Amino acid sequence: MDHRPQAWGRPRDDVYGAYDASYLNHSAPKTATQSPIVTGTSVIAIKFKDGVVMAADNLASYGSLARFTDVKRLRTFLSASVVGFGGDVSDMQFLDRHLNELAIDEAYEHETTASVSGPAPGQLNAANLHKYLSKLMYRRRNDFDPLWNQILVAGVDGAQQPFLASVDLRGTTFTSPSLATGFGAMLAQPIMRRYAATEEDAAKLTRDQAVDIVKECMKVLFYRDARSLDRYSIAVVTREGVELKEDEQLEKQSWAFAERIRGYGTQTV
């Protein structure tokens, strides 16, 4: 006789056999994004005097296959902010749809005078948007269903100052005068930090300088990152709004450095 209270009033295993609990096991592992599939590589951005420049190439890779070569990974939000996505492309597209909804809601709430383009007062600015995205990403990581992206958000904040911040799949957030995701953190960030080590340095950069720095970084990334492309998008965001160019070609490439690389190719010396 089993005297434990848990057993009271239940069929005895030794008489009826063990209870078949297999039906309780309907849970196959959750099929959330457990790892990224089609991916975008680096996004880079740097602050300057009146705003932020951001760039990302137009490639979506399937592993080592350059699968889609015309994928736009920068998007504008309410003509006031730019969001750049690295990592999983399907999650990026989900976020893109979600941000469209948010933008529509926000546009309803704060009616704009039709003639004026650019950000309307009272609408979500880049800092607000970044906060929202960070909550969204952190929530998804808490649910063990992460959106597999690292995101850069650029624009101006509530005090009308240039704003640039990052959020990743775990909801970690940070800001810096220049930011880069993925390989960019190793290859582009050191270059950008040469020009904008501090906020004060960044506040001295002109728009043209910032664009040049970013273009230079995109070139370095194309040279060294095997999952990159020479067609890219570049956005400049200021108080006046966003200028986004989505089909730029990398210019003035020089592969002269490659001749001096030894040990990877067919060379014998």
Positions touching another protein (CB under 8 A) are 1-2, 4, 6-7, 10, 12-14, 18-19, 21-22, 24-25, 29, 34-35, 109-110, 121-122, 124, 127-128, 131-132, 134-135, 138, 141-142, 144, 146, 158-160, 166, 170-176, 185-186, 189, 198-199
What DSSP letter does each residue of 182-198 carry, written as one string? Answer: TTHHHHTHHHHHHH-SS
- Least CB distance from residue 206 to another protein, whole Å? 22
C-alpha to C-alpha distance for 147 and 158, rounded to whole angstroms: 27
Q: Which of 33, 39, 41, 76 is catalytic?
A: 33
Gap between the Cα atoms of 181 and 228, Å rounded: 13
Among residues 77, 73, 50, 71, the alpha carbon closest in space to that of 239 is found at 50
CA distance 130 to 219: 28
**Dist CA 93 CA 88 (whole Å):** 9
Q: Which residues contact 116 (CB under 8 A, 6 or more apart)?
A: none
Please say if 33 is a catalytic residue: yes
Minimum CB distance to another protein, residue 132 (Å): 6
Task: Please tell me what DSSP assigns to residue 109.
Answer: H
Closer to another protein by CB, 85 or 148: give it: 148
We find the least distance from the C-beta atom of residue 60 to another protein, in angstroms, to be 21
If the CB atoms of residues 180 and 235 are measured against another protein, the closer one turns out to be 180
The answer to whether the Cα torsion of 168, 172, 178, 180 is positive or negative is negative
In the complex, the smallest distance separating the C-beta of residue 150 from another protein, rounded to whole angstroms, is: 10
Torsions phi, psi of 59, nearest 5?
-100, 140
* 174 versus 264: smaller Cβ distance to another protein: 174
When the beta carbons of 71 and 187 are compared against another protein, the nearer one is: 187
Instruction: Give the residue with the Cβ less far from another protein, 1 or 269.
Output: 1
CA distance 83 to 180: 13
Q: Which of 161, 72, 179 is nearest to 125 (CA)?
A: 161
| Tokens matching residue 216 | 């230079």
Q: How far is the CB of 254 from another protein (least distance, A)?
A: 28
Q: E strand or H helix at 159, and its extent?
A: none
Active site residues: 33
